[in-house]
Amino acid sequence: MRLHVADHPLVTHKLSVLRDHETSSPVFRQLTEELVTLLAYEATRNVQVTPVRITTPVTETMGVKISEPRPIVVPILRAGLGMLEGMTKLVPTAEVGFLGMVRNEETFEPQTYAERLPDDLSDRQCFVLDPMLATGGSLGAAIDFLFARGAQDVTAICILAAPEGVEAIKKQVGDRDVTLVLGAMDERLNDKGYIVPGLGDAGDRLYGTV
């Protein structure tokens, strides 16, 4: 498993505003979109491309286009939806699937309640959007789901992560082709399974249900 933690002043600045408990839901949503676009730049570093001949106003030359089958972006509902716009702005030709997972707040185990994905993901590059990598349960289950359908490789974009969650994903994925791209690595999980210092419940803050 490959791990990339963003090291950029703009990411740190936007994260600082995102963490602030006084940040309103509209601002939170806008910052989430901006952060994901910044993280997506790194996440798509190895996106597959195909050479193509093009004609500029001056002459013919060679360029590239995103290869077929196109990559697929998979937000984990519901909080992952808040990250979708930031990702598709950078990769507008990507397909979009959905995976509904929720964490049982007593057992911390993931529960799947919905999915809208192709039955066959063979040769597909998949990008999973999940704002908070806490215990790793939901993200790990999502990664397993995608590989079970034939995904070639999976890149997960998370705004924040706890070391416990990263370690859990590392153990779970083994030698499969998985990359984690994080906005920041926080200190730890508390006894309720929340990231510390974190930013609270991302879904609640995105949609104003705090």
pTM, two decimals, is 0.92
pLDDT (tens digit, 9 = 90+) per residue, 23-64? 999 999 999 999 999 999 999 999 999 999 999 999 999 999
pLDDT (tens digit, 9 = 90+) per residue, 162-178? 999 999 999 999 999 99
Beta bridge partners of residue 60, listed in sequence order: 55
d(C-alpha 112, C-alpha 106), whole Å: 16
Catalytic: which of 107, 116, 120, 123? 107
Do residues 54 and 61 lie in contact, with contact meaning Cβ atoms separated by under 8 Å?
A: yes
Q: Is 103 an annotated catalytic residue?
A: yes
Catalytic: which of 78, 112, 177, 204? 204
Catalytic: which of 23, 112, 144, 201? 201
Q: Is 204 an annotated catalytic residue?
A: yes
- Confidence category of residue 70, pLDDT binned at 50, 70, 90: very high
Instruction: Output the pLDDT for position 103.
Output: 66
CA angle 88, 94, 98 (to 5 degrees): 80
d(C-alpha 178, C-alpha 61), whole Å: 34
- Confidence category of residue 193, pLDDT binned at 50, 70, 90: confident
Q: Based on the number of CB atoms within 10 Å of its own CB, is 184 exposed (0-12), middle (13-18) or buried (19 or more)?
A: buried
Q: Which domains does the chain have, with CATH numbers?
A: 2-207 (3.40.50.2020)
Tell me the mean pLDDT in the region 145-171: 96
Strands 195-196 and 188-189: antiparallel
Q: Is 107 an annotated catalytic residue?
A: yes
Catalytic: which of 70, 78, 103, 149? 103
